[in-house]
Amino acid sequence: MRFFKTALGVSAAMALSATANAELKVATVDVQKLFADYYKTHEAQAEVDKAAQTVQETNNTRAETIKKMEADFNDMVKRLQDPMLNEKDKKELEQKAQIKRQEVIALEQERRGFVERQLKSLQEQMKVRSAKIMGEITKITEGIATKGNYDLVLDKSAQALRSNQVFVYTKPGMDITPTVMKELNKDAPEGFDPSKKKAPAVPAAPAAPAN
């Protein structure tokens, strides 16, 4: 996730240039790593994954119902090919098949709309949670920077518009990421391991409507 744009690097460079003759105490921090390994990020992702799984299960149930209805419709179409079918029964079967087809289309459209709405809602939820998490990371970093009397803290994970690193090299000793991470995760649940990550549960893409 990209949190800072090129402007950050330009502003930092200008600040360094403008104070070239001053003694600056500069630190770096890996914002992407802090975000990825913060226990609240994992909690938020777990909640979204759980909600996404529920959406997936509901979607699967609806898809299965539609599949059975499509089978019924196809069976009616097959029966209509029977040369022994009299005109009256054929007309009734055609009407039933048409009704069944419209029901399938309506249910498929409803299923697709349901998945799209739920995915959008989950994305919005994660967006809000992410913004809140970033606020907490910024606050903790600012607190540590103040205590350490740093003049400038740079995000070494920042990237330019072409995905090039803004800061090609920084001294390892400048990195306060571990200190910030320790403060962020001081209240993490017992046994929390940021390395244990799983792929988020995502509902299947809506299938094409019945013909």
**Any domain includes 88:** yes
Q: What percent of the chain lies above the pLDDT cut of 90?
A: 70
**Any domain includes 133:** yes
Query: How many alpha carbons fall within 13 Å on the CB side of residue 162?
Result: 1
Q: Give me the number of domains the chain comprises.
A: 1
pTM of the model: 0.72
Both tokens of 2, joined, read 């990209």
CA distance 56 to 204: 7
Taking alpha carbons only, the member of 137, 80, 132, 73 closest to residue 107 is: 73
**Any domain includes 198:** no
141 CB-contact burial (10 Å; exposed 0-12 / middle 13-18 / buried 19+)? buried
- Tell me the per-residue pLDDT of 192-207, one tens digit each, with 9 for 90 and over: 998 876 544 444 444 4
- Tell me the per-residue pLDDT of 22-41, one tens digit each, with 9 for 90 and over: 688 999 999 999 999 999 99
Say which residue the tokens 């009256």 belong to: 88
Give mean pLDDT, residues 5-13: 43
Indicate left, alpha or beta for 155 from its phi (over 0: left) and psi (-120 to 50: alpha).
Answer: beta
Average pLDDT, the chain: 85
**Any domain includes 196:** no
**Any domain includes 158:** yes
CA angle 121, 126, 128 (to 5 degrees): 95
Taking alpha carbons only, the member of 28, 42, 35, 24 closest to residue 177 is: 28
- Tell me the per-residue pLDDT of 107-130, one tens digit each, with 9 for 90 and over: 999 999 999 999 999 999 999 999
**Any domain includes 135:** yes
In this prediction, residue 164 carries a pLDDT of 77
Report which DSSP code applies to 164: -
CA distance 18 to 3: 25
- Tell me the per-residue pLDDT of 143-176, one tens digit each, with 9 for 90 and over: 999 999 999 999 999 887 777 777 777 788 899 9
**Any domain includes 199:** no
**Any domain includes 49:** yes
Supply the range of the domain harboring residue 18. 6-184
CA distance 30 to 37: 11
